[in-house]
């Protein structure tokens, strides 16, 4: 899967697309592969206020649960209901149709420290599975 270069990446394998103060959050192909068989995405309610670093949602795989963190502070504006119904589709297009939540950003502090594609791919070389 080609990783887009118009998004930023976190060390915990989320991707973040910021357009104005609208942010879209997903997880990377590395995270998808690492999680294994995803069975359920526990999405937050729209309107939920999230602090930077707070757990935004949880992804359940057969054997484990993974937390997805809010990269900046803001409010959940939309969630991808299609993913909640059919979690397996997340693995097919995690950078596109497999987006997780959209947020209205109230404080973008921290965004500038996120990695670009080149830095993320370098991070992956040293990323330790499990």
Dihedral pair phi/psi, residue 86, rounded to 5°? -140, 80
Among 5, 19, 45, 62, binds other proteins (CB under 8 A): 62
Toward other proteins, which CB reaches closer, 58 or 93?
58
Residues 6+ apart with CB under 8 A from 108: 18, 21, 72
Toward other proteins, which CB reaches closer, 33 or 113?
33
Residue 38 burial (C-beta neighbours within 10 Å; 0-12, 13-18, 19+): buried
Q: How far apart are CA 70 and CA 79, in angstroms?
A: 13
128 binds other proteins (CB under 8 A): no
Among 36, 49, 97, 106, binds other proteins (CB under 8 A): 36
Q: How far apart are CA 52 and CA 14, in angstroms?
A: 13
Minimum Å gap between C-beta 67 and other proteins is 9
With contacts defined by CB under 8 A, how many residues of the chain interact with other proteins?
13
Among 12, 22, 61, 89, binds other proteins (CB under 8 A): 61
Minimum Å gap between C-beta 77 and other proteins is 22
């Amino acid at each position: 899967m080609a990783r887009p270069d118009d998004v930023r990446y976190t060390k915990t394998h989320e991707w973040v697309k910021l357009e104005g103060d609208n942010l879209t959050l997903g997880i990377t192909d590395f995270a998808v592969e690492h999680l294994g068989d995803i069975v359920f995405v526990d999405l937050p309610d729209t309107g939920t206020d999230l602090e930077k670093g707070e757990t935004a949602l949880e992804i359940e795989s057969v054997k484990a649960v993974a937390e997805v963190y809010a990269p900046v502070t803001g409010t959940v504006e939309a969630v991808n209901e299609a993913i909640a119904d059919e979690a397996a589709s997340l693995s097919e297009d995690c950078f596109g149709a497999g987006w997780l939540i959209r947020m209205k950003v109230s404080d973008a502090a921290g965004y500038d420290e996120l990695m670009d594609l080149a830095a993320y791919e370098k991070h992956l070389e040293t990323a330790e599975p499990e």
